[in-house]
A and B are shown apart, each in its own frame.
Chain A
Amino acid sequence: MKGNKGIIFTGVVVGIISVLLVRFGNPGNMGFCIACFIRDIAGALGLHRADVVQYVRPEIIGLVIGAFLMAIAGKEFNVRGGSAPFSRFVLGFIVMVGALMFLGCPLRMILRLAGGDLNAIVGLVGFTVGISIGIVFLNKGFSLKRTYNLPTFEGYLFPSSIVALFVILLIVPSLLIFSEKGPGAAHAPVMIALAAGLIVGALAQKTRLCTVGGIRDLILFKDWHLISGFIAILVTALVGNMVLGQFKLGFAAQPIAHTDGLWNFLGMALAGFGSVLLGGCPLRQLILASEGNIDSVITVIGLTFGAAFAHNFKLASSGNGPTPNGQIAVIIGFAVVLAIAYFNIEKSIDVKMKEDVQIEA
């Protein structure tokens, strides 16, 4: 239990901040949502034309800078990449399609549950099933192959791009597109959102908080460490929502959610399946990208592309439910993820030893 203190503390902080961000103006049950926020940023940059979901979310900027600074401080900024980059891009794209079918990343799924949205239970079951399918492939030998060290400068480019986006937001916001109505128009004040992101980014880097990893480790190793953070977010946000009167139990009329159980299930199953092959949920990818993991940078770009396509081609659900295009995209998504999983199974179980190894004692 002692070793779990940090991750539980992080979960409690994420829970409190998430509830407060809604109080300060974020959409309902959307204190944090990596999928929604990346989608909003894609919209603000004009990558899609859905005029209700366009805003540069300072939470994302804070997450990246917070995680980057924490990695530098802890001497953990290691620049590496080269592990099946385009497969990761495609997986990121598909995870986003699944998340926007459900209307939220796994983190928002927890926050929706904490707000009383029972559709999120269906999502959670789907998410767990998706992760379980992924684990079957992991155990059969699925691998996107190893990473390699890359020049340190390469690692600075992603956090720098995010800082540049923040500078544009502050100094020349006229370059960006902002929603005048809808979820994109609902947001906490910029500096509060930025501070929230900084705190959560730093803590998530320190503790490796990951929704996918929590369920994966529990199934694979009966290891409760990561999932204890997940549970701490749920309990804290639940209590916080009740205290602030933001809790509303039921399936119908939940904020930015629909009640189609089958597609809530399939959307999150797809997100879970894709994420476990990637090695982490969208939040975790963002944190890894900030500490020098270029494969995760590629994944985040895949998520961004997925979000842009999801809105340009009407794949994303709305409060009215899923769209036919979205249903077709989720089915294609399953086929593609299955293909990536199957064709990356290593057949050889040979262990090749290195020679002339120097051991430092």
Chain B
Amino acid sequence: MEYIATFYTHFGAIKYSRFLSSKNISSETMPVPRKLSSSCGICVKFKTSEDISTMISEDIEKVFLIEGSDTELIYDNK
């Protein structure tokens, strides 16, 4: 499964990408795609087969599931 996580802060994203590296999950840190948000932070895109519900950190604002060219909001920390 491929996911994009958005964060409240820039450093939250950097920390999360380091966390993924420590678990040998490769990830890409990049500007949040426009269709996902009107704000301009950075996001982390990664693939994992683990249960995503155990991987939601406090810094994460939203998680999107990527299926082909579609993205589905699966978690929103309101």
Binding site for B on A (CB under 8 A): 3, 6, 71, 74, 76, 78, 138-139, 141-147, 149, 205, 207-208, 210, 213, 217, 220-221, 223, 225-226, 279-280, 284, 288, 291, 293, 346, 349-354, 357-361
A333 → B minimal CB distance (Å)? 22
Q: Are B15 and A351 interface neighbours, CB within 8 A?
A: yes
CB-CB under 8 A from B77, the residues of chain A are 354
Task: Please give the residue numbers on chain B whose beta carbons come within 8 Å of chain A beta carbons, in ascending order.
Answer: 8-12, 14-16, 18-19, 29-31, 34, 38-42, 52-59, 63, 65, 73-75, 77-78
- B14 and A352 contacting across the interface, CB-CB below 8 Å: no
Asked if B34 contacts A208 (CB within 8 A), the reply is: yes
Selected A-B contacts with CB under 8 Å, 25 pairs: A3-B34, A138-B10, A138-B11, A141-B11, A142-B11, A143-B9, A143-B12, A207-B34, A220-B42, A221-B30, A221-B42, A223-B30, A279-B10, A279-B40, A280-B40, A288-B39, A349-B15, A349-B18, A350-B15, A351-B59, A352-B57, A354-B57, A357-B75, A359-B63, A360-B74
Question: Given A351-B57, A359-B52, do A143 and B73 touch, yes or no (CB 8 Å)?
Answer: no
Partner of B31, one of A143, A146, A217, A352: A217
Please give me the residue from chain A that is nearest to B30 by CB atom. A221
A-side contacts of B19, CB under 8 Å: 351
Contact of B9 among A144, A205, A359 (CB under 8 A): A144
Are A74's CB and B58's CB within 8 A? no
A213 and B34 CA atoms in complex are apart in Å by: 13
Q: How far is the CA of A361 from the CA of B53 in the complex (A)?
A: 11
Contact of B56 with A357 in the complex, beta carbons under 8 Å: yes
Which residues of A sit under 8 angstroms from B55, Cβ to Cβ? 353
Residue on B with the closest CB to A135? B10
17 more A-B contacts (CB under 8 A) besides A205-B38, A208-B34, A226-B31? A76-B38, A141-B11, A141-B14, A146-B8, A149-B78, A208-B40, A213-B40, A221-B30, A221-B42, A223-B31, A225-B31, A279-B40, A284-B40, A353-B54, A353-B58, A357-B56, A360-B74
Chain A contacts for B10, CB-based, 8 A: 138, 142-143, 279
> Contact between B8 and A353 (Cβ–Cβ < 8 Å)?
no
**In the complex, what distance in Å separates the CA atom of A225 from the CA atom of B57?**
28
Set A3, A354, A361: member contacting B58, Cβ < 8 A: A354
Residues of B within 8 Å of A226, CB to CB, are 31
Asked whether A146 and B57 contact (CB < 8 A) given A225-B31, A357-B75, the answer is no
B16 to chain A, nearest CB (A): 6
Chain A residues whose C-beta falls within 8 Å of the C-beta of B15 in the assembled complex? 349-351
In the complex, the answer to whether A353 meets B56 with C-beta atoms within 8 Å is yes
| A359 and B34 form a contact (CB under 8 A) | no
- Kindly state the separation between the CA atoms of A71 and B16 in the bound complex, as whole angstroms: 29
Indicate the member of A71, A143, A205 with the most B CB atoms within 10 Å.
A143
Q: Is the CB of A210 within 8 A of B40?
A: yes
Evaluate contact between B73 and A360: CB separation under 8 angstroms: yes
Q: A351-B57, A357-B53 are in contact. Are A147 and B8 (CB under 8 A)?
A: yes
Q: Are A346 and B57 in contact (CB under 8 A)?
A: no
- Contact at A291–B11, with CB atoms within 8 Å? no
Most-contacted residue by chain A among B11, B14, B42, B56 (CB, 10 A): B11
